[in-house]
Amino acid sequence: DGGITQSPKYLFRKEGQNVTLSCEQNLNHDAMYWYRQDPGQGLRLIYYSQIVNDFQKGDIAKGYSVSREKKESFPLTVTSAQKNPTAFYLCASSTDRGVRTDTQYFGPGTRLTVL
């Protein structure tokens, strides 16, 4: 079964703690993305990676960090510097064919709540 998995589904964090959200894909996609969704709002891009060992900041990267050591994996760390981290986090992947915008395949998401 091909797809994207995210874990955990629900995550609770105390203020001041760093947490890491997992994202794994077996679609053999080159590009991976992290989005943040707040209630009743659209998707905002946090970070994206087009190839292993390379990633770029999106529109709201402050307080987040990522790594891309393997093609299949793109974990997101929410650091204590992120002042309002409670949100729904979505990971996505797509084939990288250059300029053309490819379909984004999303994982089921992680709901992060700061206590």
34 belongs to the binding site for other proteins (CB under 8 A) = no
42 belongs to the binding site for other proteins (CB under 8 A) = yes
Which listed residue (41, 62, 81, 113) binds other proteins by CB under 8 A? 41
Q: Give the full edge-to-edge strand order of the sheet including 64-66.
A: 4-7, 19-25, 76-78, 64-66
Site for other proteins in 66-105 (CB under 8 A): 90, 94, 96, 98-105
Closest CB to other proteins among residues 85, 107? 107
48 belongs to the binding site for other proteins (CB under 8 A) = yes
- Helix (H) or strand (E) holding 22, with range, is strand 19-25
Vertex 105 angle, CA 100 and 110, to 5° = 135
Vertex 20 angle, CA 104 and 38, to 5° = 55
Residues binding other proteins (CB under 8 A): 31, 33, 35, 40-43, 45, 48, 50, 58, 90, 94, 96, 98-109
